[in-house]
Every structure is written in structure tokens, then in C-alpha cells.
A and B are shown apart, each in its own frame.
Chain A
Amino acid sequence: MADDETGARALLRKLIVQVDETRREMGRPVTPPTRRAVAIAVIANPYAGRYSENLDELIAIGEELGGLLGERCVAALGITPSQAQSYGKAAIVGEGGELEHAAALLHPKLGAPLRKAVEKGAALVPSAKKLGGIGAAIDVPLGHKDAAYVRSHFDAIEVRVSDAPRAGEIVVAVAVTASGRPLPRIGGLQAHEAKGEDGLH
């Protein structure tokens, strides 16, 4: 673990935490304000510029980042892990890489340490990925962490890093919120009704 950590940290160029708080929407107060955090890592892509059948390095980095970025979000929101309500993840691969590199980061191992950072997390972590140039934006999807069908928590956070990804880099984002959308009113499963057992309801 220590070795993995050192390896992943060495690849990190930037670490950014963005927090947004919505106090009013359409002229109405949002009480309490909705609060969302997204932590973003800019890392070197060890496979840029070449085809590699094996993507284990990125899988290991994904595991490292799931915990690091998840913890940063929770800290920035000033909440306890159990107070986290929804989450999501995304990656933008610079032009020297391929889409599968984002998949290697996001899917095999990022989720477990992220769930630890937010306590529980029975639901799938919704995700988005793409190739993009410097300053590209990506919309990180959000879903309730324990019950994917909670309708008030479907949302997205737009993220961009002005100088990344360079061709040989990947931007990795993990979002965690302390709330659903402001003024949710389209029915469906409510957060307080969710059982949180099967990850869906």
C-alpha cells in the first residue's frame, strides 16, 4: 500500500477541490443551502502514446485516488462521512491516451475506497468519461449513494481545469454532496424513504 501510494503521489501534478453552495434558486431561498464538492486530480498517464494490453498501473492509481479524492470532498464539505448523500466520478483523458485508460481508473478499484470515505455507498457510483483537450469540461453525474432511484439526487457537476489535461495527462474527478438538488419537486423515491439495501431503492 505504501509503495502504491508513493507511486501515485509522484504522478500527481495538481489537486483541486471545488465546493459550491446554492442559497437561492429562482428567487426562492434554499434552506438549508445545497452543498456539493468535487475533488480533481491531474495525473500523468503512464500509458500515453502507446498501446498497452495491461492497464494495472492505472487501476492501482484509481484505487489510490478513490480514497484521496473522496476524503478531500468530505473534508471540504465539513461533514462526517455518514452525512454524504450523493456521489459520482469522471475522467478526461488527454489526447495521447485512450478511453479505456479512463475506464481503468474509474471502474475496477476506485469505488471501494470512495465508499469507505463516505460510509456505506450501496449504490453504483455514476460515471462519465471522455477524451478531451486542455481546459475541457466534463459533467460529473451524481446519484444518491445508497439508493440509485432517489430522484431528488440525480444531478451533475461541471468540472474543468484550465491547463489540463495535457496530451500525456488524465483529469480524474470525484464528487460528493451533502444534499440533493435545490428545490426538488418531481416526486419519485424520496431520500427518507430509501432502504439503501440493494443500492437501488
Chain B
Amino acid sequence: MIEIRRTVTWREEIYHEFGPPAARPLVRGAVAAVLANPYAGHYEQHILPMMEALGAVGLDMGRQLLNAMDVTAERIESYGKGAIVGGAGELEHGALWHVPGGYAMRELLGWTNDGGAGRGQPSGQPSGPASAPTGGAASGQPSGQPSGQAAGQADAQATAQARKGNALAIVPSTKKVGPPGATLDVPLTHINASYVRGHFDTFSVTVPGAPAADELVVILVMAAGGRIHQRVGGLAASAISRWDGLR
């Protein structure tokens, strides 16, 4: 089912944007894989097998991205994901990337949702008969939350619980149907608290020549810091306190 035609990686070092040069340049990176879309050209009701198959792709891409960025997982502070569906496919095919793309990155960054309620629908580990609930997670309540458990408990306990892991926040995403060479603006937010304002960012991804009509482009993005001259206030990364994935 998985047939990867091409991969592309990007590593950016940002020194400044006409303000004071950073002591250490901001490193951002993206990886895109161009895949055959097995559902191109017809309506297919049952598309979840592809979602499960994508799990391994997500993990491979996440590792490839960290390698291309030449930074350790510990330095990653924000992330995002996206998909571009070629013209013979439908938007829903892009939605297949929510769960495997998000969980792949979160697992690589140290997420441990071991709270007893199962691991949600983690990356591509075939979750056996879990297809039905997985579908719900993909469309309604995308990958992101480490279960409501940590948020629902007393602060201290929640903190202790949640901080066992990392990558607590939902992975923001965009997707669209597009022509070869389409550009997708992939949003980035902080890996542990979506409201960290200095880490709201965007990475524009273009794969020249892709997707062809019968292809998908799936994308992961990570950054080792917030915007280079961030100064619009709001929640600072150093002030994350709830460890609920939001604040």
C-alpha cells in the first residue's frame, strides 16, 4: 500500500530578520514524502488501512527530519504537519495523515501516554480492531491530546503525571488538494503548550513537481525554537505551568 516515490528535506538556519542577530541561529526543518495515493480516482469508503500503514512512514520521516536538521530530539520546541492531495484524490485522503503524522513526531520527542486508558491511536502501530474509534479521532479530536486524564487532576499530580513525557500538545496541521508544485503553509506551535505565543510560526513547503494527480505529499515540520524576534507577549515557554498540552 505504501509506495514512496520521493522524499525532500529542508534545514533552515535563521540568523535574523533585520533585528539583532540571535546568539544561536534558529534551526527549523521539514520533511516531505511523495506517496502513491491508493484511493486516487474513485470513492473508497474504507480508507483506514492506509492510515495504519502510514504509521511506519511517519516514524521514518520523523527520524529523517531530525537527522537532516542535525539537532537532538531534546532541542525540538515546536512542530506541525500537513498534507497535499493530488487532483485525483479527495481532502479526506489528506486527513489520513493526522494520526500517524502527529503521533510519530510526538513519540520521537518523548511523549508517553501511559495513563492506562490505552495509547489513543498512536502512530502506525496497527491497533488491531481499533479502526472505528481511530476514525473518530482522525476527524473530530485529532491526535493531539495526551488523554484528558492529566488535565482533569489536581495540578501537582497532573504536573507530575504529564511531565513524565514530552510533546503534550496537539500537532497543528493544514491540508489541501493541490497541483504539482503547490505550496502548503504548515503551522507550528509549541510541543508542550499550544498557547505559547512566541512559537506560533509557519513553514512553507513546496515539492517541485508533486503531488501528481494520483499522489499524496505528507509533511512533518519541527523547529528548535520560536520566532527569531518574538516579542508580542503572551504565554512564554518558560511559564508553562499546567502541562495539559495547552498552557
B160-184 contact mask (Cβ, 8 Å, vs A): 1 or 0: 0000000000000000000001010
Q: Are B6 and A23 in contact (CB under 8 A)?
A: yes
Digit string of A11-40 for contact with B (CB within 8 Å is 1, else 0)?
Answer: 011111111111111000000000000000
Cβ of B137 within 8 Å of any chain A Cβ, yes or no, is no
- Contact A23 B7, beta carbon cutoff 8 Å: yes
Interface status of A76 (Cβ within 8 A of chain B): yes
A-B contact count (CB 8 A): 62
User: Please, how many residues of chain B have a CB less than 8 angstroms from a CB on the other chain?
Assistant: 26
- A162 sits at the interface (CB 8 A): yes
**Could you tell me the distance between the alpha carbons of A23 and B34 in the complex, rounded to whole angstroms?**
10
Cβ of B204 < 8 Å from any Cβ of A? Answer: yes
* Stretch in B10-18, B71-79, B236-244 with 4+ CB within 8 Å of A: B10-18
Indicate which residue in B5, B8, B10, B17 contacts A24 across the interface (CB closer than 8 Å). Answer: B5
Chain A interface: which size bin? Answer: 20 to 34
Bound-state CA distance A76–B7 (Å) is: 14
Are B3 and A20 in contact, CB atoms less than 8 angstroms apart?
no
Q: Which residues of chain B (192-223) have a CB below 8 Å from chain A?
A: 204, 206-209
B5 touches A13 (CB 8 A): no
Interface string of B1-30 (1 = CB under 8 A from A): 001111111111111111001000100000
Tell me the interface secondary structure of chain A in the complex.
strand
B15 lies within 8 A of A12 (CB) = yes
Q: Judging by beta carbons under 8 Å apart, are B5 and A23 in contact?
A: yes
- Indicate if A53 sits at the interface (CB-CB under 8 A): no
In the complex, what residue of chain A is closest to B11 when comparing beta carbons? Answer: A17
Pairwise interchain contact A14-B204, C-beta atoms closer than 8 A: no
Residue pair A22, B6 in contact (C-beta under 8 Å) = yes
Q: A160 at the A/B interface (Cβ < 8 Å)? A: yes
What is B's interface to A at a CB cutoff of 8 Å?
A: 3-18, 21, 25, 68, 181, 183, 204, 206-209
